[in-house]
Amino acid sequence: MATKRLLSRLHLLTVRQVQTAGDGDHTDGGGLLLRIRGASASWVFRYTAPTGKRREMGLGVAHRSNPAHAGASLTAARDLAFAARDQLARNLDPIDEREKVRDAGREAERLQKAQKVRQRMTLARAARNYHERVIEPSRSTKHAAQWIASLENHMPAELWAKPIDQVTAPELLAMLQTMTPHERARNTDGGTPFETQQRIRQRLDAVFEDAIFHGLCATNPAAAVKRKLREAKGRRERRQFAALPYREAPAFMAELRKAEGIAARCLEFAVLTAARTSEALMASWSEFDLDAAVWTVPAERMKCKDAHSVHLSPRALEIVKAQRCMGGTYVFPSLRIGEKAMSNMAMLMVLGRLGVRDRTTVHGLCRATFSTWANETGAARPDVIEACLAHEESNRVRAAYNRAQFMVERRHLLEAWADYLAQPPVSNVVPLKAA
């Protein structure tokens, strides 16, 4: 009987009444209302939600321009009201259910747009985009150019042009392992073939991580191949830079001081400050406080990405002051290219002229020789030696809390190093007693 009474209270409006209704709410029964507000007409479903709250849900515009439009609008509104009453019978809130449908539709549309973006986003485009946003603003012009060139020169065309979310770990591993000796030696960064391979993988790793962050792919195949490359290579001993024994350093420095040219002065300065090759080559006048005898290498030029202050011993300060007559941006400029820094080959050529290139590298001479001398002679505490070398603390917890700069101890250490290098070379001649 209740169902019959409900049915008898439905469909109370006629098409004619829909057309001619004046301002106000006009019920069609079962919660369906025709709402007229001036020139505006709409359908509304009024109901009690499962929570007990009274709510109204709009069902759209009521079209009343002619009998056909009014009839169609009335039928559509009744169908929507019927569906809402069915949801209420199943203890569902029609407004909440409609929002869920809308949200699902928006999500489907978003995923569809994202899929189109991923299909257009090739590995090449993603790498160049990352390079433009992250690498160019944070690295030197030379390093930024080398960064993208290493990928463009080594990536096969078919893989480079592939959508980034379709690049797989096996094909990336195959590419890295099948690079020919010529390709692996074509390293714009000046490292060994193995280092070329590693740098390419590391740069791809950064590109894929960035792509995952921006929703362009779901996995990082460059990270997945890291272990496989190590397995294929086998256990590889850590490469040590050839370095001159520290006991021979004073004799070498005596010869170096006699050598002429900007490259010789740059090498001498790098040895005295235990600097990396690029740090000395790219040293600019803006980094020096000659009154305080301090050279501050900015964070963007440091390997650990932290600014590094270096105390200048009297001889190191003398070298820098003597370079002021050169003018320009760089302390040790290239004479052939004007406002450019010297090539990293310049100091190697000095080692060659002094006959020690087969026994030491620039890096080994400037840093390993210094480190060996400081550690073996106990010239300073290990923490101070590491601070002089600007080595990154491997223990992350210790690095987070240890902010000590050891400035006074570092100054004493570098001055002791300069004094050691300036001492007269030890003679191999053994004096004989008179008969």
End-to-end CA distance of the chain: 143
Q: Which two tokens stand for residue 121?
A: 């986003």
pLDDT reported for residue 240: 60
The verdict on 329 and 418 lying in the same domain is yes
Compute CA distances 367 → 149, 373, 430, whole Å.
Answer: 29, 10, 32
The verdict on 192 and 261 lying in the same domain is no
The verdict on 296 and 408 lying in the same domain is yes
Q: How many CB atoms lie within 10 A of CB 416?
A: 16
**Nearest alpha-carbon partner for 390 in 296, 325, 327:** 296
Q: Percentage of the chain surpassing pLDDT 70? A: 84
- The 8 Å CB, 24+ separation contacts for 212-218 are 215/114, 216/117, 216/118, 216/121, 216/126, 216/164, 216/165, 217/118, 217/164, 217/165, 217/167, 218/165
Domain-embedded: residue 136 = yes
Mean pLDDT of 53-80: 94
Burial of 180 (0-12, 13-18, 19+ CB in 10 A): exposed
The verdict on 350 and 207 lying in the same domain is no
The verdict on 80 and 145 lying in the same domain is no
Measured over the CA atoms of residue 23, residue 27, residue 28 and residue 31, the dihedral's sign is positive
360: left (phi over 0), alpha (psi -120 to 50) or beta: beta
Task: Give the model confidence (pLDDT) of 336-364 as tens digits.
Answer: 665 778 887 889 999 999 999 889 999 99
Q: How many CB atoms lie within 10 A of CB 210?
A: 18
Total domains in the chain come to 3
Domain-embedded: residue 114 = no
pLDDT reported for residue 301: 83
Domain-embedded: residue 238 = no
- Contact status, residue 322 vs residue 261, Cβ threshold 8 Å: no
Compute CA distances 241 → 74, 196, 268, whole Å.
Answer: 87, 17, 18
pLDDT reported for residue 405: 62
* Residue 198 CB partners (closer than 8 Å, separation 6+): 229
Mean pLDDT of 222-233: 82
pLDDT reported for residue 85: 95
- Contact status, residue 70 vs residue 15, Cβ threshold 8 Å: yes
The verdict on 206 and 293 lying in the same domain is no
Mean pLDDT of 291-307: 86
The verdict on 257 and 397 lying in the same domain is yes
The answer on pLDDT for 192 being more than 90 is: no
pLDDT reported for residue 196: 79
Mean pLDDT of 289-293: 93
Final residue before a domain boundary, out of 30, 62, 97 = 97
Domain-embedded: residue 435 = no
Q: Which range marks the domain in which residue 29 is found?
A: 2-97
Residue 401 confidence class, pLDDT cut points 50, 70, 90: very low
Task: Give the model confidence (pLDDT) of 95-110 as tens digits.
Answer: 999 999 999 988 888 8
Name the residue with tokens 């169609």. 72
* CATH number assigned to the domain comprising residue 332: 1.10.443.10
The verdict on 132 and 227 lying in the same domain is yes
Final residue before a domain boundary, out of 178, 208, 233 = 233
The verdict on 339 and 257 lying in the same domain is yes
Domain-embedded: residue 108 = no
Which is more confident, 188 or 36?
A: 36
pLDDT reported for residue 433: 46
The answer on pLDDT for 189 being more than 50 is: no
The helix-helix angle for 407-422 and 382-389 (nearest 10°) equals: 80
pLDDT reported for residue 6: 47
* Amino acid code (one letter) for 396: R
The verdict on 266 and 388 lying in the same domain is yes
* CATH number assigned to the domain comprising residue 166: 1.10.150.130
The answer on pLDDT for 165 being more than 90 is: no
The pTM score is 0.47
The answer on pLDDT for 7 being more than 60 is: no
pLDDT reported for residue 345: 85
The answer on pLDDT for 234 being more than 80 is: no
Least confident residue range of 227-236, 366-375, 380-389: 227-236
Domain-embedded: residue 117 = no
Mean pLDDT of the chain: 84
Domain-embedded: residue 433 = no
* CATH number assigned to the domain comprising residue 80: 3.30.160.390
Q: How far apart are CA 168 and CA 164, in angstroms?
A: 9
Final residue before a domain boundary, out of 184, 208, 233 = 233
Domain-embedded: residue 118 = no
The verdict on 261 and 368 lying in the same domain is yes
In the sheet that holds 294-297, the strands lie side by side as: 288-289, 294-297, 308-311
The verdict on 86 and 131 lying in the same domain is no
Any idea how long the chain is? 435
Mean pLDDT of 206-211: 93
